[in-house]
Amino acid sequence: MAHLVHVVVATPAHSTVGGPLSYWSEASLPAGALVRVPLGRREVCGVVWDPPEGEAAQPDPAQLRPVGAVLDGLPPLSATWRQLVTFAAGYYQRSLGEVALAALPPQLRELDAAQLARRLQRTPVAPEVATVAAAPELTDDQSRALAAIAAEPGPFLLFGATGSGKTEVYQRAVQALLERDPQAQALVLVPEINLTPQLQARFEDRFGTSAVVALHSGMTNPQRLKSWIAAHLGRARIVLGTRMAVFASLPRLGLIVVDEEHDPSYKQHEGARYSARDLAVYRARTEGAKVVLGSATPSLESWQACERGRYRCLEMPKRIGAGELPRVRLVNMNNQPRGTVFSAPLLAALSERVARGEQALVFLNRRGYAPVLACNACDWKSECSHCSAYRVFHKVDRTLRCHHCGFTERVPRACPHCGNVDIAPLGRGTERLEEQLGELLAEVRRPDGEPVRIARMDADSTRLKGALEHQLAQVHAGEVDVLVGTQMVTKGHDFRRITLVAAVNPDGALYSSDFRAPERLFGLLMQAAGRGGRDAARAAASEMWVQTFSPEHPLFAALKKHDYAAFAGQQLNERRQAAMPPFAYQALLRADARTQEIAQAFLQAAAEAAPGLDGSGHVVLYAPVPLTVQRVANVERAQLLLESGSRPALQAFLAAWQPVLQGLRVRGLIRWAIDVDPLLI
């Protein structure tokens, strides 16, 4: 007997095939089963899906192609997992198959039934989970937070100062879950790969290595498949991962933790442009699980959700062990000599810390030696020939490197335009700061009489495998006196010896055209400040120095008091008056084309086809504009902003707009995409 089955497969972006395809099978297949099916001339992996609602006539099985093979070694993907995928595809305006198949490990999509069976034979059975390491005594704040998590449904926003012990709350909440239900599973999300090993080590120390698996794009395909299978079979009790892990198959999910929930890294910027934080909240609701969002500087969306009573705010304002947050000192750079990089007071403070055997952190969110190399004779600059951006000068390997497309060349001996040999760097990156500090602190001596030891930590210095772990170990062991780094050193690291943190040039975000720039800057500075004074014995002397040309800015007034609530209130008031998110809802239509004119012509045609789709008139479309960096890898980029005071109205408009966009044919258009709830405008 032939059985009709509906299967979702990874269809090309913007194809008119967005839902399940029909096949026939000799056996009845449950929804969620993994299968191999023919698609064109290929055989691809697919997921058996629920029948579409309101399907009228049943197709003739004789006109359908048969299912190739069933991967029956794995149990079907659950109904709640399929619901998560369906919601994400609809809300973020992508095809069902694109989201569903992208959520599966790449290697799983390539295996046949026999290969999968061999892999499953090598998957060990998980032993019983036991708490291994001794847990520290809880503070009053931690105890109150855990009691609320145990007694209330949530969602919870764990609003805790840096060093207040949020990770211990996460671990105790996981421990309580596993004690109540030994088969339960927990999902812990972190914003970036470089934070995963550190947190994974802490969870493995507490629960044992067999209970914890990692899931992120930095793993090899076999490693990702092994972790995914362990989670899907319920053998892994705790899954730690980056944003992609929000789609992990966890049949007994009871708790989701989103650490540093404010971090923009939770937003995907390619393919289905989803927010893992928002999907975590949705998934917890549909799975009947609890969700804890943790941050010292919550996103304004989460803060507003607490004010409106949608989230339960759990405050932990005190550091563990009577530690104090660093005292913030502002240096008015208007009073410093022109071109000053390190003010005299800051240099004196750095020298004093080194002489006392303490550590300092210097923060600048720009890697490389200098952002531009320029000729003083003809105004030539190191522009990228493929992007509307400058190539960054990297002195370590004497290259000019574009951080957008990767185009790299050796530094020329003379100006390519006029032959002048006097070409010089403009501006500063972490490489140059490291070099200048080495010169400025050359005469400073440590307590043992040895010279100062300076290290740099950024995406360049940690590129090689194991480099990040090695550098972190050096800092923790006290083998580094001054650490220079980008934002990667400000997140989540427990540096016990750092007593001084310095932000050298943070002003760029204060007057940015991006309305979210102040929020991101405040979060970065607060996180950076939190790296200092984590050891109670040194906390009283810890400081954060901020060099700024705008010391009167309200952001710095709130920073000096470590008063996130005051900053959030001021920002939310401005956004309310301007009708900006979270008081409005936005989407972007982005277009990539061979020329800027073609990209904007597509967007203009899309806007002209929009009237009538929104009968209520609740959606506003703005004029197409180029992106800030409008050309990347010889592709011109433009975008059109949509805005509405109603999320349902915006969603209804986008759904009605999709077939219109798919029907537009513009020669030279490379691709287009809709970005719902964009973070970068």
The rounded distance, in Å, linking the Cα atoms of 97 and 18 is 7
Contact by Cβ (8 Å): 290, 153: yes
384 assigned to a ligand binding site = yes
Please choose, from the candidates 492, 368, 503, 477, the residue with its C-alpha nearest in 3D space to the C-alpha of residue 429: 368
313 assigned to a ligand binding site = no
Phi, psi of 564 (to 5 degrees): -65, -35
The rounded distance, in Å, linking the Cα atoms of 570 and 40 is 56
Element (H, E) at 285: helix 276-287
Residue located via tokens 């309101």: 54
405 assigned to a ligand binding site = yes
Strand partners, 400: 393, 409
On the question of a cis peptide bond just before residue 155, with omega within 30 degrees of 0, the verdict is yes
Q: Which residues lie below 8 Å from residue 263, measured CB to CB, with a gap of 6+?
A: 191, 192, 491
Phi, psi of 37 (to 5 degrees): -135, 155
Contact by Cβ (8 Å): 200, 242: no
Alpha carbon dihedral 338, 339, 345, 349, in 10-degree steps, equals: 180
The rounded distance, in Å, linking the Cα atoms of 294 and 306 is 13
The rounded distance, in Å, linking the Cα atoms of 620 and 12 is 29
306 assigned to a ligand binding site = no
In terms of residues, how long is the chain?
681
Pair of tokens at residue 204: 């493995």
Q: At what angle do helices 79-91 and 647-663 cross, to 10 degrees?
A: 80
Please choose, from the candidates 554, 560, 511, 550, the residue with its C-alpha nearest in 3D space to the C-alpha of residue 334: 550
CA dist 417 → 364, 377, 624 (Å): 32, 10, 35
The rounded distance, in Å, linking the Cα atoms of 519 and 572 is 10
375 assigned to a ligand binding site = yes
By DSSP bridging, strand 42-49 and strand 238-241 are: unpaired
Q: Which residues lie below 8 Å from residue 646, measured CB to CB, with a gap of 6+?
A: 585, 618
- Residue 194, CA atoms < 13 Å, CB-side half-sphere: 24
Which residues are documented as binding site for Zn(2+)? 375, 378, 384, 387, 402, 405, 415, 418
Which residues are documented as binding site? 375, 378, 384, 387, 402, 405, 415, 418
